[in-house]
């Protein structure tokens, strides 16, 4: 295990929507559930992208907080006969880019079991070609990226990066509380249409397991 920090992608970077769409269309990315992904659903509200995997102890450590984030921000109120269920305030998208050549436990079966075990209902993608990890410059697991919609005069706004970094200061084996305070502060600011604090601490975890000989230069 190589302890690796996030690359801290520049704030304001646009969501690489075209890369996600292209990889899905080419079949190099798929939902571990086997269901097709309604890609346009990711463009309508704030989006939290989480680079995860099944085996990493740092991911296992934050799994309970991911479940709490889903419950607190990404679960719609139930529909009634008078009104349909509203869209969640926050969309979640998980991506695993680890090589299944070197780490078969991070294949679709392992990821599906992980999601089922924790009751995760958000899309979970297996990035077999590792192009999404490159598009986000993801370096570690977990590696979170929060995007917020930005209005445009023509109505065709983009989602731009407002937070990348740690959930909180908790790590496996330390005494810090696992409460997601850093990422929750950013989410609450976005939902309140307030600025997100620019001072952000990098996430730290296991390095993404690149296919042998295919590590990008910035990950070496």
- Rounded distance between C-alpha atoms, residue 180 and residue 74, angstroms: 15
- pLDDT score, position 79: 42
Task: Sheet containing 158-164: give its strands across.
Answer: 29-31, 124-127, 91-96, 47-51, 143-150, 158-164
- pLDDT score, position 218: 82
Q: What is the pLDDT of residues 192-210, one digit of tens each?
A: 999 999 999 999 999 999 9
- Rounded distance between C-alpha atoms, residue 152 and residue 133, angstroms: 28
**Closest of 59, 17, 31 to residue 207, by C-alpha:** 59
- pLDDT score, position 158: 86
Intervals of the chain under pLDDT 70: 1, 75-88, 152-157
What residue spans define the domains of the chain? 3-75+87-219
Task: Write 104-112 long-range contacts (CB < 8 A, 24+).
Answer: 105/54, 105/55, 106/53, 106/54, 106/55, 106/209, 108/30, 108/32, 110/54, 110/55, 111/32, 111/53, 111/54, 112/32, 112/33
Of the CATH numbers 3.40.190.10, 3.40.30.10, 3.30.420.40, 3.90.1150.10, which one belongs to the domain with range 3-75+87-219? 3.40.30.10
Ranges of H-type helices in the chain:
17-26, 57-73, 108-118, 131-136, 181-191
CA 198 to chain CA mean position, Å: 19
Give residue for tokens 């801290």. 8
Mean pLDDT for all residues in the chain: 91
Q: What is the pLDDT of residues 4-15, one digit of tens each?
A: 999 999 999 999
- pLDDT score, position 151: 73
Q: Is the CB of residue 150 less than 8 Å from the CB of residue 159? A: yes
- pLDDT score, position 77: 47
167 Cβ contact list (under 8 Å, min separation 6):
62, 65, 142, 144, 178, 180, 182, 183, 203
For residues 18-46, one letter each, b for 16 or more C-beta atoms within 10 angstroms of the residue's C-beta and e for the rest, the string is: eebeebbeeeebbbbbeeebeeeebeebb
């Amino acid at each position: 295990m190589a302890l690796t920090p996030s690359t801290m992608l520049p704030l304001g970077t646009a969501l690489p929507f075209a890369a996600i769409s292209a990889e899905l269309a080419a079949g190099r990315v798929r939902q571990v559930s086997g269901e097709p992904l309604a890609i346009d659903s990711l463009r309508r509200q704030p989006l939290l992208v989480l680079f995860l995997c099944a085996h990493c102890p740092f991911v296992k450590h934050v799994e309970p907080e991911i479940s709490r984030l889903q419950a607190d921000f990404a679960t719609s109120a139930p529909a009634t006969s008078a009104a349909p269920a509203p869209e969640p305030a926050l969309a979640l998208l998980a991506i695993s880019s680890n090589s299944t050549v070197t780490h078969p436990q991070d294949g679709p079966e392992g990821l599906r079991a992980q999601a089922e075990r924790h009751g995760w209902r958000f899309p979970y993608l297996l990035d077999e070609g590792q192009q999404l990890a490159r598009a986000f410059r993801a370096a570690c697991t977990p590696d979170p990226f929060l995007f917020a919609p930005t209005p445009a005069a023509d109505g065709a706004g983009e989602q731009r990066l407002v937070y990348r970094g740690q959930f909180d200061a908790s790590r496996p084996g330390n005494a810090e509380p696992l409460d997601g305070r850093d990422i929750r502060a950013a989410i609450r600011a976005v939902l309140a249409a307030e600025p997100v604090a620019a001072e952000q601490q990098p996430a730290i975890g296991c390095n993404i397991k690149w296919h042998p000989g295919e590590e990008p230069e910035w990950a070496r």
